Amino acid sequence: MFRVKGNMLTRRIALWTAFLALAAGIAIALRPRDGFATFSRSHPFSMLAPLAPPGWEVRDTPLGATELSSGEAARTLYFNDYFYKTYRRGEVAVGVYAAYWAPGRLDPVRVDGHTPDACWVAAGGTVTERDDSWVLPKFGDRTFWPGRFRVFEFPFGREEVVFWHCFGGKPQRIADEKISGLFYWLRHFSQNLRATAFGLEPREQIFVRISTNRTFDELARSNLWPAITSSLLPSGIFEPAD
């Protein structure tokens, strides 16, 4: 009898310990996080679109096969605003795409489901190189947060792309996190709470993607690169200034 009661007490202690650990994990995940710059809606979202420097042509590009048709994308991605610009100089093409979601607008996991890893592959691309912690060269005294870098091969040619999914002014890893078990579930749960109207910290989301049919080394040496990086400073893809 004593042994049975002892086993029951042990189980109760284990259950309460697990419950308290779960509660503590959620509390830690939802704690306020200061110092993350956020994009101000006091200015039009289009302010982030880079202006074309001399020698480059720029045009607004509709969302196409790589992001779904524009009407379907608007319904599926449910963004508040976006822009997609294509810059050309001779045979060189550079795409800059960014979308904005107000706090609570859309589940961040759904936003993260529309990255080149999904949409570009569905449009016929094949990933030949991948780096989920790729850091671009510093822009002046500002340092990029690590982005997700890919090289795609399409029937029409090769594309390099780097992209970030930010909420609360900082890139987040969601779908690409290789975490299993309870912590993986808690991570998703806490990120959803922080980014939705039901969370303690509703936060805006911004998705930024830069692509080129050349290389980023070549792009970084062009006069287009300062225009792109300076215009995207408020987007959250740079670490906070010292």
Does 241 reside within a domain?
A: no
Evaluate if residue 197 carries a pLDDT over 50: no
Are residue 27 and residue 43 in the same domain, yes or no? Answer: no
- Alpha carbons within 13 angstroms on the beta-carbon side of residue 133 total 1
Does 112 reside within a domain?
A: yes
Are residue 59 and residue 115 in the same domain, yes or no? Answer: yes
Residue-level pLDDT at 179: 47
Q: Which residues pair with 92 in a beta bridge?
A: 89
Are residue 47 and residue 148 in the same domain, yes or no? Answer: yes
Are residue 27 and residue 130 in the same domain, yes or no? Answer: no
Does 240 reside within a domain?
A: no
In the numeric block, the tokens 């592959």 are attached to 121
Evaluate if residue 199 carries a pLDDT over 80: no
Could you tell me the pTM of the whole model?
0.75
Residue-level pLDDT at 38: 53
Does 131 reside within a domain?
A: yes
In the numeric block, the tokens 């006069």 are attached to 223
Strand ranges inside 155-204, DSSP E: 157-167, 170-171
Are residue 15 and residue 60 in the same domain, yes or no? Answer: no
Are residue 22 and residue 118 in the same domain, yes or no? Answer: no
pLDDT tier at 101 (50, 70, 90 boundaries)?
A: confident
Residue-level pLDDT at 146: 94
Are residue 46 and residue 108 in the same domain, yes or no? Answer: yes
Q: Stretch 45-50: mean pLDDT, rounded?
A: 87
Phi, psi of 25 (to 5 degrees): -65, -40
Are residue 10 and residue 43 in the same domain, yes or no? Answer: no
Are residue 46 and residue 22 in the same domain, yes or no? Answer: no
Other residues' Cβ atoms within 10 Å of the Cβ of residue 124: 13
In the numeric block, the tokens 């480059």 are attached to 56
Range of the domain at 6: 1-31
Are residue 11 and residue 107 in the same domain, yes or no? Answer: no
Does 242 reside within a domain?
A: no
Are residue 26 and residue 64 in the same domain, yes or no? Answer: no
Which has the minimum average pLDDT: 15-19, 132-136, 159-163? 15-19
SS3 88: strand
Total domains present in the chain: 2
Evaluate if residue 210 carries a pLDDT over 50: yes
Evaluate if residue 165 carries a pLDDT over 80: yes
Residue-level pLDDT at 33: 45
Are residue 111 and residue 1 in the same domain, yes or no? Answer: no
DSSP conformation class of 113: T
Evaluate if residue 4 carries a pLDDT over 60: no
